[in-house]
Homo-oligomer: A and B are copies of this chain.
Amino acid sequence: MKESNQNTVNRSSPKTLGDRKRFLTGIKPSGDVHIGNYFGAIKPCIDLSKDVQNEVILMCADWHGLTNRAEIMRPGQLSHPLIALLLALGYNIKENSIILQSDFPQIQENSWYLSCATAAGLLERSHAYKDAIANGKVPTASLLFYPSLMSSDIITFDSQFVPVGKDQAQHLEYASDMAKLFNNLVGVDVYIAPQGVIQETPTLIGTDGERKMSKSYNNILPVFATKKELEKCVKEIKTDSKGLNDPKDPNSCVIFQIFKSFASDDAIAYMKEKLEKGVGYGYGHAKKDFVDEHEKVFGSHRERYEYYCNNFNEVKKLLEPGYEKARSYADNVTKRARQAFGLKSYLN
């Protein structure tokens, strides 16, 4: 192989990427975004986009959402609301990108190239695939192929860094290993092997006070619930039997635990003090303060969210500059891969 490719062997990094650190981060459009998601995944992304040292490509991973046959219609329904939500909550779209995975066919093409350099056995070791089997499900071929597409999400845009939770370290290993396997196979450094940036992803307790907040446990508080909807959800937060004037422990109070994930510092300090003193401040008061603060923090964003949800073309226009940039990265990477194989084309 290497003989036939001597002229192009170049083991140095394929590109100097400019001064900003390029991050790729993906979110699967899987349901109503709740405060647990906001706190664990959405807010870290938005914070990342606000640091001018970073160039963030946020991918709404609709193709990955199709790997589960039971939820095959979700990505189509939920991708636009997810992007609307990110914009409404202040993702810095002027300096960064949000892209819809299925708008970038280059990802599928590079996924094929990665898979040509990777042993089949590697795919079966993915947690998602093993979990499906352990749970008695019949995994789809796409779930088996998931590590390849996911790795391609990253390498297709020359991403250098990927924020990962502790339980996602395997994802980065896949992307990094497959990139290196490919580069070794063709004898040229085509793909950048990305680095993981471990992120503390705090899990939030659900309204049942027992398990982490999750749609599957039906214990969530939606980020963009109206005041009325929220009041109904908050009512169900479990509390102990302490009375109006009993001192209460904020650390064991589910209301406070959720409250502090989104409230302002002042509001947090206020509720903490009130609970600890416990004079004339019962759980009913805490729940009311919860709803008021939620409205204060998310209310105006909710209006913008609804506006973006209903104005598809407006969103499209906001995404356009980022799309163009991402496309040029993807075209560039794909061209490098094709050149490494010497593939012909009758297109241009």
Q: If A102-B338, A141-B120, A338-B102 touch, does A343 touch B62 (CB 8 Å cutoff)?
A: yes
Separation of A46 and B311 alpha carbons in the complex (Å): 53
Total copies of the chain: 2
A346 touches B315 (CB 8 A): yes
Taking each of A4, A79, A346, which has the highest tally of chain B beta carbons within 10 Å of its own beta carbon?
A: A346
Are A115 and B145 in contact, CB atoms less than 8 angstroms apart? Answer: yes
Q: Which residues on B sit within 8 Å (CB–CB) of A270? A: none
Contact A141 B119, beta carbon cutoff 8 Å: yes
Do residues A73 and B4 form an inter-chain contact, with CB atoms below 8 A? yes
A119: chain B residues at CB < 8 Å are 138-141
List residues of chain B with CB within 8 A of the CB of A96. none
Residue of B nearest to A80 (CB): B344
9 inter-chain pairs at a CB distance below 8 angstroms, sorted by A residue, are A1-B72, A108-B111, A112-B142, A112-B149, A115-B140, A119-B141, A120-B129, A120-B138, A120-B144
Closest 7 CB pairs of A and B: A76-B342, A108-B108, A115-B141, A105-B105, A120-B144, A115-B142, A66-B116
Q: Does A217 contact B (CB under 8 A)?
A: no
By a beta-carbon cutoff of 8 Å, the part of chain A in contact with chain B is: 1, 4-5, 62-63, 66-67, 69-70, 72-73, 75-77, 79-80, 100, 102-103, 105-106, 108-109, 111-123, 129, 138-145, 148-149, 185-186, 312, 315-316, 319-320, 323, 338, 341-347
Among B148, B186, B316, B345, point to the contact of A346 (Cβ < 8 A). B316
CB distance from A152 to the nearest CB of B (A): 10
Report B-chain residues with C-beta under 8 Å of the C-beta of A122: 141
Contact indicator A72/B343 (Cβ below 8 Å): no
Given contacts A108-B111, A120-B129, whether A100 and B344 have CB atoms under 8 Å apart is: yes
Decide if B344 touches A73 in the complex (CB within 8 Å): no
A226-B281 Cα distance, complex, nearest whole Å? 99
- Is B109 in contact with A105, judged by CB distance below 8 angstroms? yes
Flag if B108 contacts A112 (CB, 8 Å): yes
CA distance A198 to B117 in the complex (A): 34
| In contact, B343 and A76 (Cβ under 8 angstroms) | yes
Q: Given contacts A76-B341, A120-B129, A315-B346, could you give 4 more A-B pairs where the C-beta distance is less than 8 Å?
A: A4-B73, A66-B341, A116-B140, A118-B141
Are A73 and B5 in contact, CB atoms less than 8 angstroms apart? Answer: yes
Name the CB-closest residue of B to A60: B344
Taking CB atoms, residues of chain B closer than 8 Å to A105 are 105-106, 108-109
Q: How far is the CB of A115 from chain B (nearest CB, A)?
A: 4
Contacts of A111 in B (CB 8 A): 108
Which residues of B sit under 8 angstroms from A316, Cβ to Cβ? 346
A347 contact from B70, B80, B103, B108, Cβ within 8 A: B103
A120–B121 alpha-carbon span in the complex (Å): 13
Contact yes or no, A100 B345, CB < 8 A: yes
CB distance from A314 to the nearest CB of B (A): 11
Complex contacts, A116 vs chain B, CB 8 Å: 66-67, 69, 72, 140-142
Instruction: Give bound CA distance, A112 to B141, whole Å.
Output: 9
Q: How far is the CB of A59 from chain B (nearest CB, A)?
A: 13
Contact of A120 among B70, B72, B114, B140 (CB under 8 A): B140
Complex CA distance for A80 and B312, rounded to whole angstroms: 44
